[in-house]
C-alpha cells in the first residue's frame, strides 16, 4: 500500500487567553507522568516508571507493529470477511486534548446506543476514539500521516478491541473531523499559524520535519489545554464506516495498548484502506498533540524498524 505522507508540523505557540466558559475542571491523570520524549519519561523508559507499567518493557505481544511480509506470515492475519458491527450516531460527545492525545468521549446513558463490534462470540462497545501523529502502525516500514483509534471494551471481562484507521492527508477538509480545527481555535482563542505544506511533499521531507520539530516529543500545548472542551451534539460514524466498507478488509492480530500500562490481549483490527483527513485538520491535530506515536515493537522476536 502506498501512502502519500504529507504530515504538516504546526509551529504556533499556545496563547494563554482561553475564554472562561471553555474551562472545565478535570481530574489529574492517574499514575506517574509519561510522554513521548527521548528522556527518562519517554517510551524507552515507560516500563521503569511504575510497577503497573512493567508490561511496556517485558510484554511479549506489544503494539504497534509493522505490517509486512514477515509479520503477515507469523502473527498478523488479513481478514476479508465482513466485521460484524452496529454503529449509530453518538449524542453529546466532547472533544478535548487529554495531555497525550486529542480524544472524543461521552457519558453513556440509559438511552445511549452501544456502538459495538463483534469478534467471535464477544461483543465490544465503543467507549472513545483518539488520534496519533504520525501513525503508530506502519505498512512495509512506512508511517501514514496519522492514525485514528476506535477503542471498544467488552462489558463483562473488560477486554479491549481497537480499530485502527490510517489517515492520509488531502487538500480538502473532511466533515467527520470538523471538530479538530474548532478545538484548536478554542484552545488558542485565536486563529492558528501553521507551516504551509507545498503540494507533492515527499516522505523524506516529512521525516525531516518530524525529526527537527517534534521528534523530541515536546507538546506544543500547555496544561491549560487539557481543560478545554469542545462539545459535539452528535458524532455520525456513517461516512467513516461507509468509506471503510464496513471495516473490511483489515489486518487482525493480538497486541497491546500503545500507551502505559501497555496491557496485552488487545484485539487489533487495522484497516487496509486509509481514510482522508484535511490538511488544515491535520495541522490542527499536530499543533494540539505533537508527536505522540510509540515506536514499532519487536517483542515477538521479529525485525525492528525503530
- List active site positions: 100
Identify which of 101, 110, 105, 102 has the alpha carbon closest to the alpha carbon of residue 93.
105
At residue 57's C-alpha, the angle toward residues 53 and 62, to 5°, is 95
Quick one: which H or E segment has residue 69? helix 69-74
Which grid cell sits at 49?
Answer: 516508571
In the block, cell 484552545 appears at 187
Identify which of 295, 292, 294 has the alpha carbon closest to the alpha carbon of residue 305.
295
Contact 183, 284 (CB under 8 A): yes
Strand pairing report for 160-170 and 275-278:
parallel
Identify which of 29, 28, 63, 31 has the alpha carbon closest to the alpha carbon of residue 50.
31
Count CB neighbours of 37 within 10 A. 18
Does the CA dihedral 96-102-104-107 come out positive or negative? negative
Helix 279-289 and helix 178-188, axial crossing angle in degrees, nearest 10: 50
Quick one: which H or E segment has residue 235? strand 229-235
Identify which of 151, 106, 131 has the alpha carbon closest to the alpha carbon of residue 288.
131
In the block, cell 449509530 appears at 88
Count CB neighbours of 286 within 10 A. 30
Strand pairing report for 229-235 and 160-170:
unpaired
CA atoms in the 13 A half-sphere facing the CB of 97: 31
Amino acid at each position: 500500500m502506498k501512502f502519500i505522507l504529507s504530515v504538516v508540523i504546526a509551529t504556533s505557540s499556545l496563547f494563554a487567553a482561553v475564554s472562561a466558559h471553555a474551562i472545565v475542571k478535570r481530574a489529574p491523570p492517574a499514575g506517574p507522568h509519561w510522554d513521548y520524549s527521548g528522556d527518562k519519561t519517554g517510551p524507552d523508559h515507560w516500563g521503569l516508571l511504575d510497577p503497573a507499567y512493567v508490561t511496556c518493557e517485558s510484554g511479549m505481544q506489544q503494539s504497534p507493529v509493522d505490517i509486512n511480509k514477515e509479520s503477515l506470515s507469523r502473527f498478523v492475519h488479513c481478514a476479508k470477511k465482513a466485521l460484524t458491527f452496529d454503529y449509530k450516531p453518538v449524542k453529546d460527545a466532547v472533544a478535548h486534548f487529554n495531555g497525550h492525545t486529542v480524544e472524543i468521549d461521552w457519558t453513556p446513558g440509559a438511552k445511549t446506543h452501544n456502538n459495538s463490534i463483534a469478534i467471535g462470540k464477544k461483543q465490544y462497545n465503543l467507549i472513545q476514539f483518539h488520534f496519533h501523529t504520525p501513525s503508530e502502525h506502519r505498512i512495509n516500514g512506512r508511517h501514514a500521516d496519522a492514525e485514528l483509534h476506535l477503542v471498544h471494551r467488552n462489558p463483562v471481562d473488560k477486554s479491549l478491541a481497537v480499530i485502527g484507521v490510517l489517515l492520509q492527508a488531502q487538500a480538502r477538509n473532511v466533515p467527520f473531523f470538523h471538530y479538530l480545527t474548532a478545538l484548536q481555535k478554542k484552545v488558542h482563542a485565536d486563529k492558528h499559524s501553521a507551516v504551509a505544506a507545498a503540494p507533492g511533499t515527499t516522505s523524506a521531507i516529512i521525516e525531516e520535519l518530524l525529526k527537527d520539530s517534534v521528534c523530541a516529543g515536546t507538546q506544543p500545548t500547555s496544561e491549560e489545554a487539557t481543560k478545554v472542551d469542545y462539545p459535539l451534539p452528535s458524532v455520525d460514524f456513517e461516512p467513516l464506516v461507509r468509506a471503510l466498507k464496513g471495516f473490511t478488509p483489515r489486518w487482525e492480530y493480538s497486541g497491546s495498548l500503545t500507551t502505559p500500562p501497555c496491557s496485552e490481549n488487545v484485539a487489533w483490527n487495522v484497516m487496509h484502506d486509509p481514510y482522508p483527513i484535511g490538511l488544515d485538520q491535520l495541522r490542527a491535530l499536530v499543533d494540539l498533540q505533537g508527536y505522540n506515536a510509540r515506536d514499532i515493537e519487536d517483542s515477538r522476536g521479529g525485525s525492528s524498524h525503530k
